[in-house]
Amino acid sequence: MGIAEQNMMLVSAGMASSGKVPFASTFAIFTERAFEQVRNGIARAELTVHICGSHGGIHTGTDGSSAQSIEDLAIYRTIPGMTVLHPCDDLSAEELTVQLLDHVGPTYMRTARNKTLRIYDHDSVGDLSIGRGSVIRRGTDVCIIACGVMVSQALIAANDLADDGIHAAVVDMHTLKPLDKNLIDSMFASCGCFVTAEDHSVIGGLGGAVAEHLSTGITAPLEMVGVSDIFGQSGASSELMSSMGLTSEEIKHSAIKAISRKSG
């Protein structure tokens, strides 16, 4: 629909109210321009519209800070009844998108601009389900919960930690809302501490979601790897991710710190 994101959301709302299942796609940062239409035209009316925000996060790189949405997941988590997704590779994005065809209610899925490492294969991806996190590595010392492009970094960190005798579990939390609280509880029982990793602000995103759950009754150390309270810059994706600490090395250091904070 061109540069008319507000119109796109309301056209999608009209289609949904007529029995169709619309998928509305634009850059993640441009969906924010249409927040009022998403909130009032789609979510308040409890319509099934699936929004895809591409080019999310610092990983967008050379598009610059004005095009790097580092707050979109937090924004859409606040909307009542909205499901929020952030898959980690092409196969999981495809699988979860297909599942959205039968999903009732508004959703927001964020995807990356650049190529990402493939985490799943054609067999394992079929086990994914909206609302259920995926344990892609077992461990007993610390649980790294990641989403999007940071899942691959979490796996690299887990391999590096293993070289030091530390056994880290890795969870792909592709659904940020509803959060898989049962899985978090289970991982607490086996690991006792957490690290979250996301290409997004640490305020209100995956780290915030996990912290909210832990605050309801689980006393567990939590370290958050993500974008601090700053805007991005323009540069190569790898350079920006490194300068902002969105790396496997930062996850490794955070894991060691979380383990050191465990009681007993």
Q: State the catalytic residues.
A: 5
- State residue 113's pLDDT score: 85
- State residue 264's pLDDT score: 59
Please tell me whether residues 216 and 255 are part of one structural domain: yes
- State residue 115's pLDDT score: 85
CATH number reported for the structural domain that contains residue 250 in this entry: 3.40.50.920
Measured distance CA(182)–CA(187) in Å, rounded: 9
Measured distance CA(81)–CA(37) in Å, rounded: 15
pTM for the model: 0.96
In a domain? residue 117: no
- State residue 232's pLDDT score: 87
In a domain? residue 29: yes
**Residues in the chain where the model's pLDDT stays below 50:** none
Please tell me whether residues 190 and 218 are part of one structural domain: yes
Please tell me whether residues 150 and 230 are part of one structural domain: yes
In a domain? residue 12: yes
Please tell me whether residues 155 and 250 are part of one structural domain: yes
User: Domain span at residue 12?
Assistant: 5-110
In a domain? residue 203: yes
Residue 36 DSSP code = H
Please tell me whether residues 88 and 169 are part of one structural domain: no
Residue 87 DSSP code = -
Please tell me whether residues 136 and 33 are part of one structural domain: no
Please tell me whether residues 135 and 105 are part of one structural domain: no
DSSP characters for 98-155? HHHTT--S-EEEE--SS-------TTGGGG-BTTB-EEEE--SSEEEEE-TTHHHHHH
| Strands 83-85 vs 168-172: parallel, antiparallel or unpaired | unpaired
In a domain? residue 171: yes
- State residue 44's pLDDT score: 98
Please tell me whether residues 100 and 149 are part of one structural domain: no
- State residue 63's pLDDT score: 80
Please tell me whether residues 136 and 249 are part of one structural domain: yes
Taking only the tens place, the pLDDT of each residue in 61-89 is 788 888 899 999 999 999 999 999 999 99
Please tell me whether residues 48 and 164 are part of one structural domain: no
